[in-house]
Amino acid sequence: MGPTTTGHLEEMTMPSHNPVFGRGIPSAGSGQQSAPWGGAPQQYGAPQYGYGTQDPYAAPAPYAQSPYAPATTRYMTMDDVVQKTGLSFLVTVLSAAVTWAVFPQSLALGLALPAVLVAFVLGLVIAFKQIANPVATLSYGALYGVALGAISEVFAQQFGSGIVTQALIGTFGVFAGMLVIYKTGAIRVTPKLTRWIVGAMFGILALVLVNLVASFFTPGGLGLRDGGPLAIVFSLVVIGVAAFSLLLDFDMADEAIRRGAPAKFAWYVAFGLLVTVVWLYLEILRLLSYFQDE
């Protein structure tokens, strides 16, 4: 796909995956639970974290409870994760559908840019402050839904509505496939793998920004988004990194359950999954558009 009215907008809508996911998970108590998505619970010996001797997952001293004291906070379960994630996706899809069906394309694109900017700032706040709040997560989903609806409408008008359906099927297929890979243990999330994925995400973000700046001076920029062979390869790499990022999100959910995080932390897990899935959908949509140009 050559340069379109959504070119720069879609560059901005690529979410930056939060590298702090899976770290600093709050603890609701001293108990641990089994991990429904992954392997058996880990056994933790003497703490060796590299930054000190304090367990970053442990509850702060004022909130630490005696093992004999009654629980005051409900533990997060996989049901919590599924329900909160499903609701977040539903709000995003409904927001996108309303934007597509109700607003003309020009107005939808006009609403998309401020929605993306607000969602980007909100996403950074949620990520780095680790806000586990339904209002924050659902607001993020609704805002990004406006952008997704506008972008999807433009792609559908230019290439046919089938491209959106194909992108949705592809996104669901990648999500389901990575979930099976994670659950079966075919690929285990290790510290080394996490470093590679996070490093790749920062590398992609840097290349996207450089390409965006270069496009203001040279048509097509570095050629990463002009629909040529290099653009196809770049999109495949981005989709691969986004798919592996799902493993980090699944592992974050398991780790939170093992550590006995409070039930409300499921909203933060849902936010992480929403960020990755939105990123994955946009990149698959872009890749499909390249082949429509052939």
Looking at the DSSP bridge assignments, the partners of residue 129 are: none
* CA pair distance 288, 5, nearest whole angstrom: 17
CA-wise closest residue to 155 among 140, 167, 141, 145: 167
Q: What is the pLDDT of residue 31?
A: 43
Model pLDDT for residues 216-273, shown as the tens digit of each residue: 888 878 888 888 899 999 999 999 999 999 999 999 999 999 998 899 999 999 999 9
Model pLDDT for residues 102-146, shown as the tens digit of each residue: 888 888 888 888 998 999 999 999 998 889 999 999 999 999 999
Lowest mean pLDDT: which of 7-16, 31-40, 121-130?
31-40
Q: Is 89 exposed, middle or buried (0-12, 13-18, 19+ CB in 10 A)?
A: middle
Model pLDDT for residues 155-205, shown as the tens digit of each residue: 998 888 789 999 999 999 999 999 999 999 899 999 999 999 999 999 999
Q: What is the pLDDT of residue 292?
A: 81
